[in-house]
Structures are given as structure tokens and as C-alpha cells.
Amino acid sequence: MTPTEQSTRALAVCRLAPVVPVLVIDDLAHAVPLAQALVAGCLPALEVTLRTPCALDAIRAMSQVPGGVVGAGTLLTPADVKAAKAAGATFGVSPGATQRLLDACAEHDLPLLPGAVTASEVMALLEMGYTVQKFFPAEQAGGAAFLKSIGAPIPQVGFCPTGGISLKNATDYLSLKNVLCVGGSWVAPKDDMARGDWAAITTLAAEAAGLRG
Ligand code: 3PG
């Protein structure tokens, strides 16, 4: 899959809702009810980070939830890409971009949201055909003001900023012309997951789904 085709598919994912939940799943038993709760709150695109031992099994289980579009986050290596694809991930997200990672996504037909921060990083990916990118770590790298400034000379790239975003500041990003959606973990708090309070997560998701730029 070419970078341009990947970006077309990534764009479709980013347009599903204003927020993509970034999920860290410690307990496989949480995977399905969590996905159901988020989908019920109208957040269908779900990023499961490959940071816990059960992440791939969680992707496998969540992929069966009707209405969910499940992707894998924290892709760092070609092996991650292969495993994510085999588990059923339909998109990938990386904090950055390396040539080996980009090649693996092309080879395994996995649409990727590659991460970039600086103008040069954004331009290097754009040169290859990646017009949809992740801006990470958003708040720490300069926040919405930084991303707005990147958009002035490079308006062709649409972003999913993540890192430090919550209900409080999401609109700062969503109101920018070059932001397609935002990513964040705030819609799936660890405490609510541990308590099995899926209704609370649906409420947070619905609140996030109602955000507008
Ligand atoms: C991440 O990959 O950790 C995401 O950027 C989520 O960041 P957050 O926990 O600050 O929302």
C-alpha cells in the first residue's frame, strides 16, 4: 500500500469522530466491554497501544465488537506492524517514523499515522506522500499554537495531535484547519476500567464525541 493510499485510509479513520481514544489495556477482560462502552458513546475509532502484554489479544477481541474500528498504537518496529496486522488492527499509529517502520506498513498493507513534530519531520513525510500525520507529544512540543504555525507554510498535512490532550484543551486543537481529530487517554480512565464502570466511560465518550472545532 502506497503512502498516499495509507493517508486516504487514515483520513477516513480520523473523520469518524473528533476524538480517538488512546487505550492502555492491562486486563484482557476489559477489552470487549471497553470497546462496547466507547462505541456506545459514539467514538468508533480505537487506538490500542502496544504497551501491555495483552495488547495484541485485546486488539483481536475488540475487532469483533460491532461498530468498532480498531487500530494499534505505539508501533515502533516492523515486528510490531506484522503482529498488529495479524491481530486484526485496521490502522496503525506511531509516535514517530523510521524508514523501516514505513516500509513494514507498506508491505503489510497497514495504513499508518506516522508521528512528526518539526517542520522538517512533517516535510519529510509529506515528500513521501503521508498527508495525514500524528503530532506527538502535542502539549509538550508546543501545543495548538505550534501546530497552527506549522499549518501556515504546510497546509497540505492534516494532523491527529495526541499527548496531554483532554476535554479542557481539545477544542484548541479541533478548531485548527489542519487538525482532523485528536487522540487522548482521558476517555478511558484506569480507575473506571478497574471498577468496570463502563457507563462512566460511555458518558466520557459521548462528551468527547460532541466536541466540535
Ligand atoms: C500516548 O501515546 O500516550 C498518547 O499520546 C496519549 O497521551 P495522553 O495519555 O496524554 O492522552
Nearest to 108 by CA among 76, 79, 139: 79
Identify each DSSP E strand in 32-140 by its residue range. Answer: 45-49, 69-73, 91-93, 112-113, 115-116, 132-135
- Dihedral (Cα; 164, 165, 171, 174), 10-degree rounding: 100
Question: Is residue 190 among the annotated active site residues?
Answer: no
Is 47 noted as a catalytic residue in this protein? yes
pTM over 0.85: yes
Look up the CATH number of the domain holding residue 163: 3.20.20.70
Is residue 50 within 8 Å of 84, Cβ to Cβ?
Answer: yes
Is the per-residue pLDDT at 213 higher than 80?
Answer: no
Number of independent structural domains in the chain? 1
Q: Which of 19, 20, 22, 181 has most ligand 1 atoms within 8 Å of its beta carbon, as the pocket-test mutant? A: 22
Q: Using one digit for the tens of pLDDT, what is the confidence trace for 162-171?
A: 999 999 999 9
165: Cβ below 6 Å to ligand 1? yes
Domain of 27 in residue numbering reads as 3-209
Q: Could you read off the pLDDT of 193-206 as tens digits, one per residue?
A: 999 999 999 999 99
